Structure 1
Amino acid sequence: MGKGQKLWKRAKNIIPGGNMLLSKRPEMFLPEQWPSYFSKSQGCTVWDLDGRTYTDMSIMGIGTNTLGYGHPEVDAAVLKTVQDGNMSTLNAPEEVYLAEKLIELHPWADMARFARSGGEANAIAIRIARAASGKDKVAICGYHGWHDWYLSANLGDDQNLAGHILPGLEPNGVPGNLKDTVYPFNYNDFAGLEALINKNDIGVIKMEVVRNMGPKDDFLHKVRELATRKGIVLIFDECTSGFRETFGGLHKKYGVEPDMAMFGKALGNGYAVTATIGRREVMEAAQTSFISSTFWTERIGSVAALKTLEVMERERSWESITQTGLNIRAGWQKLADKYELEITHMGLPALTAFSFNSESTLKYKTLITQEMLEKGYLAGNSVYVCTEHSESVVAEYFEQLDPVFAMIKECEEGRSIDELLIGPVCHSGFKRLN
């Protein structure tokens, strides 16, 4: 075992679940073989604890670094902040500048609040929206973090959230009296949402603008009209989708304005900062509740976000990562056609993914990760694109991926996939670790 694998074994004994983020567990990629930890990252290259380098054609910090790891301008701004001082009894002026910038990008919004993680931003938005609506019940569509309010959807049926990214989540530790406060609905099922609202006293609709498919039959416009007609606060969770296809929220692409929206992940290019923006009449409700945290006032997050937005705007990064994602998607399809394999594409172009239409799809994903790791790639069945994924990087990736697709074709024709796999199959959802 390498240093990273040995350290992961130690971690599982002293950290419940091994680490702080399910999506970074080695078991989600390649159990017992994934390098697990990094010593350095730059551009789209990652160094493990043994000094081996990998090209990251995987999830790029879970989509945090659209400008690549260690962007020189963003890092320089952060380093200056460290030198000048990150914390003080006084407030950081950059949080005002950042609020003004986000409101400028979203003219429908009047106010902003900041936090440091997506889960926090989601909890902030729900607290404010419930205070503004005066109602407890929430309709949700998509993944919105780990807090009690969200997991309470699984109190009545632990499969309620199975179709919202993470199957297998158990609501242990969530107070039972939160049951029947959060109701999932399916994307593009307007009739289902309307029936849900007619049956329950819903005060808030929270949803991702897009996850794996775009809106059909004016779905988003219908949701907006329904929320307006019923006096419901409409929240768009753009923690993942923000700044991927537009300079701001993905809702700008579809011409639908929410009452609140949250941004995270790409906002600080790897530094912790999230934003909740909204209409004044909704956001002012924050002052009727208590929403406050010491490290929401640190300076690095706002500084990183301001510089990230500056670089994004100058380079029009959302356009390049979208085009690269479309090129990667076309490359996967070209390989699938070459080897007569059926695949299904998922996600935004800049967060592109695919799966094999086969009972062995999870084993094939594991095989890709296993074989590509040996060739110096962090890779699976998804690529979260950054501006450092150049044409030459993508071309070399597909040159190395081609023979793996050939192996999968052989498996579809009778070769044993189990004989090709060196270790266990990767996980696909939440599982307790031994």
Structure 2
Amino acid sequence: MKTVAIVQARMGSTRLPGKVLRDLSGHPLIEVLLTRLARATRVDEIVLATSTDPRNDPLVDCVTALGYSCFRGSETDVLSRYLLAAEGAGADTVIRITGDCPLVDPAVVDLVVEAFLREGVEYCSNVATRSFPDGLDTEVFSLAALRRSAEETDADFDHEHVTPYLRTSGRFTTAEVVNPVDCSNLRLTVDETADLRVMQSVFAHFAPDIHFGWERVVALAEADPAMFAANANIPRNEGSQLTNGQKLWKRAKEIIPGGNMLLSKRSEMFLPDQWPSYFSRTKGCSVWDLDGTEYRDMSLMGVGTNTLGYSHPEVDAAVMTTVQAGNMSTLNCPEEVALAEKLIELHPWAEMVRLARSGGEANAIAVRIARAASGRDEIAICGYHGWHDWYLATNLGNERGLDGHLLPGLDPNGVPRALLGTVHPFEYNNLEQLKALVDQHPIGVIKMEVSRNAGPAPGFLEAIRALATEKGIVLVFDECTSGFRETYGGLHLKYGVEPDVAIFGKALGNGYGITAVIGRREVMDAAQTSFISSTFWTERIGPSAAVKTLEVMARVQSWDAITAIGHKVRAGWQATADAHGLEIGIAGLPSLSTYAFKAKTALEYKTLVTQEMLAKGWLASTNCYASMAHTDDVIADYFADLDGVFALIAECEHGDRKVADLLKGPVCHAGFKRLN
């Protein structure tokens, strides 16, 4: 009878990449684990089972140099990897050890093997009843049982985690080893950075000894609990319950401030601890997460970027042509001229164009040009205009300055105090407030969104245009969000009011990074008197995508289509709310619609909508950024599923249920708001 301990390990851990080769007491973690495991008297051979992924080459090199055998198999089907490794080693009995448990204890391994032999069962472990610290998990089973489980189950979960079918199917004889004292609250495994810090502290405490027993670690935890505090709140076996996206999000928050690059995409804005967070591919209105699960997106659609739908074939083909021809060179790309010509054609009042790649920098370009053209520094703003210092200066000395403009409670840390008093907010549709600002301050620029929660009051935009002309003020319309949604161009075309400068982004490239600042020649020429320049504003993919996007938009009349879709969705929201006796408020452009429950627990209800719709295969919250991919069938399916969620909320409103009992995790964070 041959007993083989198979250690599963890989370099591609989502939460802590390369963890098995991280330093522990001057040695790679995997070396410490193998050295400790080798002292188990009931083990005849130790084999490392990893995958064929080339990223595991350094791991294999390390383990081979230590004198141990390695087997390489499937990355995702770990059950088949185990079976093939066991068969290759000639095992009769298999011990399963995971490579992230450096405190594996040979005494515990021997204890479980002896129980397996004594009880004459097919499977034995110390994990069925949690009593040992997390990180001492030992499972022992026969090769025959392992082979049967591989044949009988085709569940992805079973094949990824190796033993659930053996342990829980009821088709195998089992036994367990239970520690007399419950120590299961102590975490001695390495899944995250916090775990590694704890392990490093433990091994440093006992150095140079690496063969200390687990009971001494328990005693240390009782004597010095602070040493173990860093990972105390991580749930046991959390990794087996988290999706790959959730694991990666946890990792991201450790190495990226805020977790990602855009506040609106943070998981906490949707469904904390449950949101899939990352995508692998897209098509139409479908998004596939890192586990291959498909969701239909009735929410942000790329934060408003994909009005033609995700991965539009014509736009993507144009981009691939560019990639194959070359994206960057010492020379300029001709597509930037073609795009500038097209934007001027669509906006006859404009004569010049500058291109960028993000909305924030396009806004900064527009402000620099407008200030240079007017010769004055101070700006009156109405709306959300990005993250740059010029804009956040609104909150210097008045933390509520931007409360009505999408960023309530923002703290402008890092914005120079010297900018205090350079930016003044005014409320939408409040002409008298703007006039007062112009009378009280040397305003050189009026910068605003064309429409906010509601459209402009009669004469509002016309009066602002007249005021700007009278006072020699440069009028800038920020159409990063509103452009190409109700007209073939800027929303200002709908109202017949021409600015001096307009900014476009988001929908312009159907998901590819491209923004534009267009304006009158006498204003735009001021760019030549300043310094506005950036290398990647000259790359070719963005303009190529935009030229093709505008071509497709014109052919399918996308602005009319998504406006009609938006109206249909808004009507559906209202009808569904009415059917269940719920009060909601609906706001925004039709193709950028949002709704909110008129209730004290509105944020909880928003979270519940996201949670329940996610379970039904939707990325859905309390908004819908319409796209051409939102067909009648998609919308009908959406409302069929949303109806049941509104029914739940109605039960909560009527006192029959509590929303807190329905939520499976924390409430989502409050995000951007349009308050005027």
Q: TM-score range by the shorter chain?
A: over 0.9
- 1:200 and 2:448 aligned: no
Q: Does 1:293 align with 2:534?
A: yes
- Give yes or no for contact 1:234–1:260 (8 Å, CA) kept in 2: yes
Query: Per-residue CA shift, 1:329-353, capped at 9, x if unaligned?
Result: 0000001111111111111000011
Compare 269-278 and 162-171 and name the one that shifted more. Answer: 162-171
Aligned to 1:276: 517
CA distance in 2, matches of 1:425, 1:228: 48
Q: 1:16 and 2:229 equivalent?
A: no
How far off its partner does 1:217 sit?
2.8
Whether the aligned pair in 2 keeps the contact of 1:136 and 1:181 (CA below 8 Å) is yes
Please name the residue that 1:51 is paired with.
Answer: 292
SS state of the match for residue 138, structure 1?
Answer: strand
Letter in 1 for 2:522: E
2:403 is aligned, of 153, 162, 180, to 162
- The corresponding residue for 1:364 is 605
| Aligned pairs, number | 430
Once the two structures are TM-superposed, the CA of residue 280 in structure 1 deviates from its matched residue by: 0.4
Cα separation, 2, equivalents of 1:19 and 1:43: 24
Question: Is 1:61 the equivalent of 2:302?
Answer: yes
- Which residue does the alignment assign to 1:421? 663
3-state DSSP of counterpart to 1:18: coil
1:423 maps to amino acid: G
Tell me by how many angstroms 1:168 deviates: 2.6
Letter of the aligned partner of 2:318 in structure 1? A
How big is each residue's C-alpha offset from its partner over 1:254-302, in whole Å with a ceiling of 9 and x where there is no partner? 1100000000000000000000000000000000000000000001111
Deviation at 1:388, TM superposition (A): 0.4
C-alpha displacement of 1:76: 0.4
Separation of aligned partners in 2, 1:213 and 1:332 = 18
Equivalent AA in structure 2 for residue 429 of structure 1: G
SS at match of 2:404: coil
2:376–2:444 Cα contact (<8 Å) kept: yes
* Alignment partner, residue 244 of structure 1: 485
Name the counterpart of 1:128: 369
The 5 A counterparts of 1:249-260 are: 249-260=490-501
SS of residue paired to 1:369: helix
Query: Which residue number corresponds to residue 418 of structure 2?
Result: 177
The Cα shift of 1:163 comes to: 1.2
> What one-letter code is carried by the residue in structure 2 that aligns with 1:145?
G
Contact 1:168 1:429 in 2 (8 A): no
| Residues 162, 168 of structure 1: 8 Å contact kept | yes
2:27: which partner in 1?
none
Map residues 8-407 of structure 1 onto 2, 5 A cutoff.
Answer: 8-407=249-648
What is the alpha-carbon distance in structure 2 between the residues aligned to residue 66 and residue 50 of structure 1? 26
- Once the two structures are TM-superposed, the CA of residue 158 in structure 1 deviates from its matched residue by 1.3
Structure-2 separation of matches of 1:198 and 1:336: 46
Distance 2:436 2:640 in 1: 50
1:98 partner amino acid = L
Is the CA contact (8 Å cut-off) linking 2:364 and 2:390 kept in structure 1?
yes
Equivalent residues of 2:264, 2:671 under 8 A apart = no
Give the letter aligned to residue 83 of structure 1. Answer: Q
Any stretches of 5+ residues in structure 1 without a counterpart? Answer: none
Matched to 2:626, the amino acid is: V
Residue type of the alignment partner of 1:425: V
Contact (CA 8 Å) 1:185, 1:193: kept in 2 or not? yes
The farther-off stretch of 160-169 and 112-121 is 160-169
RMSD: 0.7
- Residues 63-109 of structure 1 show CA distances to partners (whole Å, capped at 9, x for unaligned) of 00000010000000000000000001000011111101000000000
Segment drifting more, 421-430 vs 376-385: 421-430
- 1:147-183 C-alpha deviation (Å, 9 max, x unpaired): 0000000102111111111223211000000000000
Q: Residue 54 of structure 1 aligns to a residue in which SS?
A: strand
Instruction: Report the TM-score when normalising by structure 1.
Output: 0.98
Larger radius of gyration: 2
Give distance in 2, aligned partners of 1:219 and 1:50: 50
Residue type of the partner of 1:264?
Answer: G
Offset, 1:359: 1.0
CA distance in 2, matches of 1:288, 1:359: 53
Q: Give CA deviations for 1:16-62 in whole Å, capped at 9, x if unaligned.
A: 00000000000000000000000011110000011100000010010
1:3 aligned partner = 244
Deviation per CA, 1:374-407, whole angstroms, max 9, x where unpaired?
A: 0000000000010000000000000000011011
Partner-residue secondary structure (3-state), 1:163 = helix
Q: Distance in 2 between matches of 1:197 and 1:340?
A: 47
Tell me by how many angstroms 1:429 deviates: 3.0
**Distance in 1 (alpha carbons) for counterparts of 2:327 and 2:594:** 38
* Secondary structure of residue in 1 paired with 2:531: coil
Bigger relative contact order, structure 1 or 2 (CA pairs below 8 A, ≥6 apart): 1
Amino acid at match of 1:417: V
What's 2:18 paired with?
Answer: none
Question: What is the alpha-carbon distance in structure 1 between the residues aligned to residue 671 and residue 306 of structure 2?
Answer: 23
Give the secondary-structure state (helix, strand or coil) at the position aligned to 1:426: coil
**What is the CA-CA distance between 1:218 and the residue it aligns to?**
1.3
Deviations 1:301-340 (A, max 9, x none): 1110000000000000000000000000000000111111
Q: Which moved more, 1:244-253 or 1:163-172?
A: 163-172
- Counterpart amino acid of residue 163 in structure 1: G
Q: Percent identity?
A: 69
Unaligned runs of 5+ in 2: 1-241
Which residue pairs with 2:45 in the alignment? none
Alignment check: 8 A CA contact 2:245 2:289 kept: yes
Q: Deviations over 1:105-146 (max 9, x none)?
A: 000000000000000100000000000000000000000000
User: What TM-score comes out, normalization by structure 2 length?
Assistant: 0.63
Given residue 159 of structure 1, which amino acid in structure 2 is its aligned partner? Answer: R
Query: SS of the counterpart of 1:61?
Result: helix
